Amino acid sequence: MMRRTACQYGVIQPLCQSMFLNQPCRYGYVTNSKVKFVMVVDSSNTALRDNEIRSMFRKLHNSYTDVMCNPFYNPGDRIQSRAFENMVTSMMIQVC
């Protein structure tokens, strides 16, 4: 029986570095299948909370999984999915 483990999520660089030097915050997310996502967010955007960023990673992961499960997608090819592109665009609009 396979055991399901949670995806790993966290800040990539120390908080003090991004808060005091006005640099972007970098967040990382690693899936169970070792796929890595990185999100770079302006540190002045204090409206984003930890749970919102985690939710955005989950949406990105779900949409990415949908693309990978498409029988017409060839692994390693550029992702050419309108649904995936629209989801990423809506996330970027939400952050800005």
CATH of the domain at 78: 3.30.450.70
**Domain assignment of residue 2, yes or no:** no
Domain residues for 54? 8-95
Q: Helix count (H) and strand count (E) of the chain?
A: 3, 3
**Domain assignment of residue 81, yes or no:** yes
How do strand 36-41 and strand 25-30 relate by DSSP bridges? antiparallel
CB within 8 A of 83, min separation 6: which ones? Answer: 63, 66
pLDDT for 77-96, tens place per residue?
999 999 999 999 998 888 76
Please tell me the total count of domains within the chain. 1
Whether the model pTM is above 0.85: no
pLDDT for 11-34, tens place per residue?
666 544 545 566 778 888 988 888
**Domain assignment of residue 3, yes or no:** no
Task: Give the confidence band of 70 by pLDDT, cuts at 50, 70, 90.
Answer: very high
